[in-house]
Every structure is written in structure tokens, then in C-alpha cells.
Amino acid sequence: MQVFSYQDKTTSFPSSVVTIGNFDGIHLGHRALICSAVQEAKARGCASALVTFDPHPQEIIHSQQSVSRICTAVHQLRLLEELGLDELHVIPFTKELSQMPPEEFALQFLIKRFDLAKLVIGYDFRFGKYRAGDFILLETLSQKYNFSLEEVAPVQEKGQTVSSTLIRELIQEYRFAEIPSYLGRDFSIYGEVIHGEQRGQKLGFPTANIQPGITLALPNGVYVSKIIFAEKIHFGVTNVGKRPTFGENAITVETWLFDFDEDIYGKDLEVIPLFQLRPEKKFSSMEDLQNQIKQDIETARHYLSEHEMLPVLTSS
């Protein structure tokens, strides 16, 4: 999959089947939309392309509030590539772009950017100033500029419409076991293991650290977690938060893995929260923090044993 910024020009195929949206989480509804575009492109001998935005439009329109995300950027990229897309086009979203009339938006970012054979949109896609652009406007433009248009219906699971909003609510309420029904996989935090401050090592509990680089939908706290590394499953304890004991501000995901001592810096790690042990808190001393970590580990072992996951921990 090729990734293009707005300034880049694509010459890979003479025509394209395109879909557009934010696609946070790449849930079952997103997958239906993207797979429709990919299959149509293959049938027509075209490129399949996805247009998305960075930052999230709501972060520009409502600049005082950040948008909590289901996926890290690197995870979203990986998931999109797995779906077989040929191209990803990332549009820098600005205040000026939010004020662009809908027809001008469609012309600039879809019709003139691509030799558009077909546009595939979701049932709730709106665009342009005041979100005034809709399927009816695109239908008019499709007749004028000679491209096909398809609106994909919402995906229903267990009597609910699958949406990023629904999945964020389930994450906020720690209802992790219900999420795969709508997301199509476990909710997880995926990223590269970075060098931290080595504080975990000094405390006697070395951790694998990921910096998500986004506002996570997952509340700060300490979790029992399942970890996937190099296609193998491990278990551990994960702290998500700002490490208030050390006065830091950036969100970090720190995971201590049971029976594990490999050097995995620079490798990709997937952390799947299973259960929240406690909210994040500030400790008055390093000794208090060490004692709490020991207690967290013991509680996590008990949880895993109760849920018959503990036997997996015996393999190092």
C-alpha cells in the first residue's frame, strides 16, 4: 500500500475506486465499506484508494477538546494494509478546510485528485462547511463528472449499529469482552517498543514501553493484559497513563510481561487489556510504588488463574 500526502500525485493506475472517512478503529462497518471499494477496484482493474484526514476534523472544529482514539496511527496503517488497499491519501485537516463549501471539497479532494471510476461512502458521510455535503450532492456530481456512486448501509450487530462511538463507550466502561462483536478483533494498543527512563528496571520490574502519540479511548489505569509479540501470546500487567509519581505529562503504555526477559526495543508489540485492576495514582515514595506493583502482579496472576489463562505463563 502506498501512502500519499495531499501534495503527492499518484500515477499508479489510470482510474480509481475511492472511499473516504476517518476510520478510527477499522471496525466491522469500516471493513464493509473498504472491502466494497477493494473488491470493486479489482473487478474494474482500477486502484483502490482511501482518503482520510489528519488531525481528526473534530480536533480542529472543536479545538479545545481532543478526540479519543481506538487505534494508534501505526495500527490503523497496518489494518488498512491488511484489507488490500492500494493507496492511502492523508489530507491535512485545517480550519480553512472546515469552511470549504461541499462542492468545492468534493472537486478538490475527490474528483480532480483521481480519475474517479467509483466513489464508495458510508451511510453517515457528510462533508464540507456545516457538514452540508451529502449523498444527494454527490449523486448530482457523479452524473456531471461521470463516476459511479455507492452508499454502504450501516452494519448491525446484536441490535446495534456498529460505530466508533459505540466502541469507545465500551472501552470507557471496560467491557472488553463485548468489543470483538463490533470491532471484529480484540481492542488493543499497538506500537513500537521504545527506550524509556529505565525506571521499571530500577524498580525491579522492567517494562516494554509504547508511546501511542494520541489521546487513547482507554482510561488511564493499571490493567491485566494479553500481549502479542512475534506471533506469540504472553500475559502481563500494563500501566496506561502519565506516571504521576514522576510528574510526567505524556501518555505512555508500560507493560511488564510475566516470565519474559528478551530485548524487544524497536519491535512491534500489541497490548490487549483484559481487566482494569485500578485507576492510575500518585505514590508518595518509590517503596510505596514497588509494593503496589507487587500487589498488582499478584492480583493479575489471580485473575489469569481464575480465567484459566495462567498455564500459558509457564512457558518463558
Q: Where are the beta strands (DSSP E) in 55-107?
A: 87-92
Look at residue 304 and give its three-state secondary structure: helix
Q: Provide the CATH number for the domain around residue 23.
A: 3.40.50.620
148 domain residue, yes or no: yes
168 assigned to some structural domain:
no
Domain range for 204: 188-309
> What cell was used for 85?
488497499
> According to the model, what pLDDT value does residue 8 have?
59
CA nearest neighbour of 118 among 91, 103, 138: 138
Supply the DSSP symbol for 127. Answer: B
Q: What is the DSSP letter of 219?
A: P
Averages of pLDDT over runs of 10 residues in the chain (316 residues) are: 74 81 95 97 95 83 80 95 95 88 94 94 92 94 96 96 96 97 97 73 71 93 95 94 64 91 89 96 81 92 87 43
Q: How far apart are the C-alpha atoms of 84 and 34, rounded to whole Å?
A: 9
3-state secondary structure of 178: helix
Say whether both 205 and 274 belong to one domain.
yes
CB 93 within 8 A of CB 60: yes
156 and 214 belong to one structural domain: no
Q: What is the CATH number of the domain that holds 250?
A: 2.40.30.30
What's the grid cell of residue 278?
A: 485500578
Judgement on whether residues 18 and 124 belong to the same structural domain of the protein: yes
Residues 119 and 193 in one domain: no
Query: Is residue 314 one of the residues assigned to a domain?
Result: no
Torsion angle (degrees, nearest 10) of CA 103, 1, 187, 244: -90
Q: In which order are the strands placed within the sheet that holds 87-92? A: 2-5, 87-92, 47-54, 16-20, 116-122, 148-152
Asked if 137 and 240 sit in the same domain, the reply is no
Domain count, the chain: 2
Q: Tell me, yes or no, whether 252 and 143 share the same domain.
A: no
- Same domain flag for 45 and 121: yes
DSSP summary character for residue 153: P
3-class DSSP state for residue 103?
helix
Q: Quick one: which of 151, 162, 156 has its CA closest to 26?
A: 162
- Residues 150-205 pLDDT 10s: 999 999 999 999 999 999 999 999 999 999 999 999 999 999 999 866 554 545 56
